[in-house]
Amino acid sequence: MAKDIESPRISVSQFKGGVCVGCGRDKSEIKAWHGMKRKEKIMTARRARERLKKVGVK
């Protein structure tokens, strides 16, 4: 069985422009995380990192 993807959550979500400034996910991605398949989680985490880079958070 493939290793599960850990949530990128840092702490309590704080949103700016619809995106969490801690993890980079939007509300719908955070809500859907536990029901996502491994590949979906990988893609969501990748998009989240890119969002944070664009706004200069990480």
Listed range (1-15, 17-31, 38-52) with the worst mean pLDDT: 1-15
- Domain residue ranges of the chain, discontinuous segments joined by +: 15-54
- Neighbouring CB atoms inside 10 A of 56's CB total 6
pLDDT band at 14 (very low <50, low <70, confident <90, very high): confident
The 10s digit of each residue's pLDDT in 22-34 is 899 999 999 999 9
Q: What is the pLDDT of residue 9?
A: 80
Contacts 24+ apart (CB under 8 A), 31-39: 33/7, 38/2, 38/4, 38/5
pLDDT, mean over the chain: 87
Q: Is a pLDDT exceeding 70 seen at residue 2?
A: no
Q: What is the mean pLDDT of residues 37-46?
A: 95
